[in-house]
Amino acid sequence: MRGVLMLAVPSSIESGADATLTSPGLLLAARVFFGALAVVGLYLSYAGWFARETRT
């Protein structure tokens, strides 16, 4: 979907990225969001590959 938007209206994507990079609050929010995504990915990797299944 992002690729289609970049083809259709590239200036709005560029202005959004510029606004994020120039605003300290938005930049911090983006870093926290992607950091949380990384933590969720690490947890799901642990739960899917390393956690042992308990049998009763």
What pLDDT is recorded for position 28? 94
Averaged pLDDT in 10-residue chunks for the chain of 56 residues: 82 86 92 97 87 65
What pLDDT is recorded for position 40? 96
Q: Do residues 17 and 23 touch, judged by C-beta distance below 8 A?
A: no
Has this prediction a pTM greater than 0.75?
Answer: no
Q: Quick one: how far is CA 50 from the chain centroid? A: 24
